[in-house]
Chains A and B, each alone.
Chain A
Amino acid sequence: MENIIKTCELAQGVRLCTASTDRFKTAKISVNMAVKLRRETASLNAVLTYLLHRSCKKYPDMTALNARLAYLYGARVSASVSKIGDVQVLRLSMTSIDDRFALTDESVIAQCADLLLDMIFEPNIVDGCFPKENVEQEKRLVLEKIESERNDKRDYAKQRCEEIMCGGEPYGINRLGTESDVAAITPEALYSAWESLLSEAHVQINVIGGVDVSVIRKKLTERIAGINRSEVPVPKSVRMPAPETVREVTEKMPINQGKLVMGYRVDFDESKRAAFKVMTDVFGGGPYSRLFTNVRERLSLCYYCSARLNEDKGIMLIQSGIETENKEKAIAEIKNQLSIVQQGGFTDEELAASKKAFADALGGFGDAPEDYDGWCLQQMLRETVVTPQELARQVSLVERSDVIECAAKLKEDTVYMLEGNGGEEE
């Protein structure tokens, strides 16, 4: 499969990534804005992002906007806030059916693109500010989102571990900020945040599908020309070392199953990215991995036990849902398996299985618009976007000694356990 990802600079700090193909029935455009994650602005930026996708100057009423989207054949607009390492990424994206499926001769994609850009560049501003009612509504929704994150215990435990590990680092801040910060937001502060975002954020726009890129380029260039862009360096993440003593934190909740999260610091080397990916996979990735075959299959301790590497931040998290009473047993086995990988105790078949899985997954890359969008988003802060074909080539060259070398770069940082002290009895 040939590479179709192309990138170009539209303006200072604004990059366009395109994947032009007519194999999809839809077009997808996402606008991704990155700023350093800071306590002072985290909640403001989060509330702002969701507020922007709810209305715009042309459609100030939410229901009218939803009706417009429904009329445009159910076009979907979504907003999200995430982290790439120490950087907060604010995202608005739009999916529309391709023009060829419209029931009359109309350019659906162009109309949807205009709507998306209106949301960002021409929001619903009244008397020089966002309307107070809309702001209060959005604050309520983001507050509920923050609270709702605690409903999913697996995610909650992961976040707690990250908070503890990275307490003094931007990454330790919740992507939505805090409840008190959200509550304190005023329409004026939000308006200021919007102006700052447009002038300072590092921006990447991803365009996927049978879209006329020249048309979108023109639209984007026109909108950006109206903004006074400052010269701000690309926000970066800092990888920190592990502390001298391992942090151990246990919390209790009225839940049935305990959640264990073990955090490791990784002395990450960007030139060995592929080797780190394979090491993580051999250790705790697919059903052939050390953790799956031992902690789950051999010891029956859990339904899931996986390792995930955060390359930007240099952190690996191992997560498992276990009976509280099996905590020590699980921790011992996880450490045992890591030690086995570090000593090269994994078989050639295991390494081959991992490399083969990567090759197969990368070989099938591009069969969904989300493949391109996610791929380009993940690399929005990197100077060049590595193609899936290039990554596949690098993975094919990874050897046993590379995996061992990468595994040696892990140092234990934190063990977090969310203990169940019993939920509802059946």
Chain B
Amino acid sequence: MNIEKITSEALGESYYSIDHTSGLKIYVMPKQGYSSAYAMFGTKYGSTDTGFRKAGEKDFTVIPEGTAHFLEHKLFESEELDAFARYAKTGASANAYTSFDQTCYLFSCSGDFDASLEILLDFVQSPYFTEETVLKEQGIIGQEIRMYQDEPGWQVEFNCLRALYQKHPVRIDIAGTKESIAEITAETLYNCYDAFYDLSNMVLAVAGNVTPEQVLKTADRLLKPSKHPAVEKMPHDEPEEICSEYIEQKLAVTVPLFMLGCKENYPEAVRPLRHRLEMSILLGIIAGKTSPLYRRLFDKGLINSSFGSEYFAGTGYSAVLFSGESTDPKAAAEEIKAEIQRVKREGISPEAFETVRRKLYGSEIMGYNDVDELAGGLVSAHFLGSGLFDTLEILGKITVKDIEELLKTEFDEKLFALSVVLPAEQQ
């Protein structure tokens, strides 16, 4: 078993990277003076993984939309006590979530860490699905879907993704639809579990009042060796062009919301960390709080404090998203697009670059307080193939020239889509 200690002198932090004999990658980050520990056990399987093929199979098995999320809910159940009932005995606070490309199971505790970790490793490795339990969950998840249907922020984003992507499953709701989850059976869940919940596709990260020895003690006992199933994810033949330039939905809101997206066609499926950081700097320069654009939008009454921008990326997809509340979404979108063209023409000042870089440096350091952010950061970095401390290191190396080079290939005018949520007429 290989255990490597990785240190950042600048941050005064270290973590242990462990290649466990079971085939699972484990990260442990002890935090001085902390009294709680936060553990995350995640798999690289999310809502965008809509099909797979095992070695030797000819056809891809297509999975109903929302399956990854449904599986997440059901994994907590067992023939005996469900996971929540077990955690109730240790006092740990537990949860889970499904995103576009990951599903993570987590807990936070200050008392009985060993017992809580045992529960986590045990229930995630012990699938138990029956027709009865699947049927029961359809009601609960049905309500979760209904809840999101009324959330304007959620809707404006998914509509934007539907406008940017013609086929890629990033455009589908993470929880699926009432109809799609009705197709899920216990067999569906077992198939997906076998394909994606193998330790070779997973990672365990723990941060806080914990030692690597402590984690290994329980891991050695509980982890079942990886079977290394050769599973191929179904590829998505997404064209370069967007689906539509404008999409509008009416909801019971008082202030309209907008999300302006620009699709990015990147040569590799995985967008590397360096590129993501350069994009964050670029967005800070164009639309951050110190930018002329922000000031112009603010003074014209086109945005409020809800405005922000994000580089949204996963395997095989990426886009820039500008969003917020606005009394005139179309005008806001025009201002943003015009500013992007202006910056492409006129370039970036070294002062603007340095201001944003300094701000990102500070933000990165601030993230090192919270054990949940650290555990999440270790998981994300692992799935991206990078290290936790790489961000700070790379931020120090990026130059204004890198950003100027980047600008040349970004923001294709034909790839913008505007999603708007407007007030519904009262009935």
Q: Which A residues are closer than 8 A to B by beta carbons?
A: 1, 21-26, 62-63, 66-67, 69-76, 95, 97, 100-101, 103, 137, 140-141, 144-145, 147-148, 150-153, 252-257, 286-288, 296-297, 300-304, 321-323, 349, 352-353, 356-357, 359-369, 420-421, 423-424, 426
Q: Across the two chains, which residue of chain A brings its CB closest to B84?
A: A287
Are A367's CB and B252's CB within 8 A? no
Are B139's CB and A421's CB within 8 A? no
Q: Across the two chains, which residue of chain A brings its CB closest to B295?
A: A63
A421 vs B292: C-alpha distance when bound (angstroms):
44
Return chain B residues, CB-CB under 8 Å to A369.
369
Interface residues of chain B: helix, strand, loop or mixed (majority): mixed
Q: List 7 A-B contacts (CB under 8 A).
A: A95-B366, A147-B255, A256-B150, A303-B141, A369-B369, A423-B149, A423-B251
Write the B354-394 contact mask toward A (1 if CB under 8 angstroms, else 0).
Answer: 01101111110110111100000000000000000000000
Are A356's CB and B362's CB within 8 A? no
A204 vs B368: C-alpha distance when bound (angstroms):
27
Are A363's CB and B358's CB within 8 A? no
Are A150's CB and B89's CB within 8 A? no
Stretch at the interface among B32-40, B124-132, B217-225, B406-414: B32-40
- Given A152-B151, A424-B251, does the pair A71, B355 have CB atoms closer than 8 Å? yes
Minimal beta-carbon separation of A29 from chain B (angstroms): 14
Question: What are the nearest 7 A-B pairs in CB distance?
Answer: A364-B36, A73-B362, A300-B139, A74-B362, A360-B91, A364-B110, A363-B110
- Name the interface residues of B288-312: CB closer than 8 Å to any CB of A: 288-290, 292, 294-295, 298-299, 301, 304-306
A59 vs B93: C-alpha distance when bound (angstroms):
44
A353 vs B290: C-alpha distance when bound (angstroms):
49
Return chain A residues, CB-CB under 8 Å to B358.
70-71, 73-74
Are A97's CB and B251's CB within 8 A? no
Are A356's CB and B90's CB within 8 A? yes
Are A257's CB and B149's CB within 8 A? yes
Minimal beta-carbon separation of B91 from chain A (angstroms): 3
A252 vs B363: C-alpha distance when bound (angstroms):
43
Minimal beta-carbon separation of B22 from chain A (angstroms): 28
Return chain A residues, CB-CB under 8 Å to B288.
70
Are A70's CB and B355's CB within 8 A? yes
Return chain A residues, CB-CB under 8 Å to B347.
none
A353 vs B87: C-alpha distance when bound (angstroms):
9
- Given A24-B369, A74-B361, A357-B91, does the pair A321, B355 have CB atoms closer than 8 Å? no
Interface residues of chain A: helix, strand, loop or mixed (majority): mixed
Q: Which B residues are closer than 8 A to A by beta carbons?
A: 10-12, 31-36, 84-85, 87-94, 108-111, 136-137, 139-141, 143-144, 146-147, 149-152, 177-178, 208, 249-255, 257, 288-290, 292, 294-295, 298-299, 301, 304-306, 325, 327, 355-356, 358-363, 365-366, 368-371, 424, 426-427
Are B304's CB and A141's CB within 8 A? yes
Return chain A residues, CB-CB under 8 Å to B150.
153, 255-257, 420, 423
A253 vs B250: C-alpha distance when bound (angstroms):
12
Minimal beta-carbon separation of A346 from chain B (angstroms): 13
A265 vs B32: C-alpha distance when bound (angstroms):
44
The contact of B325 among A1, A75, A95, A144, by CB within 8 Å, is A144
Minimal beta-carbon separation of B155 from chain A (angstroms): 8
Are B370's CB and A368's CB within 8 A? yes
Are B359's CB and A74's CB within 8 A? yes
Minimal beta-carbon separation of B327 from chain A (angstroms): 8
- Given A70-B355, A257-B143, does the pair A25, B89 have CB atoms closer than 8 Å? no
The contact of B143 among A23, A62, A151, A302, by CB within 8 Å, is A302
Minimal beta-carbon separation of A108 from chain B (angstroms): 9
- Given A141-B305, A323-B143, does the pair A367, B208 have CB atoms closer than 8 Å? yes
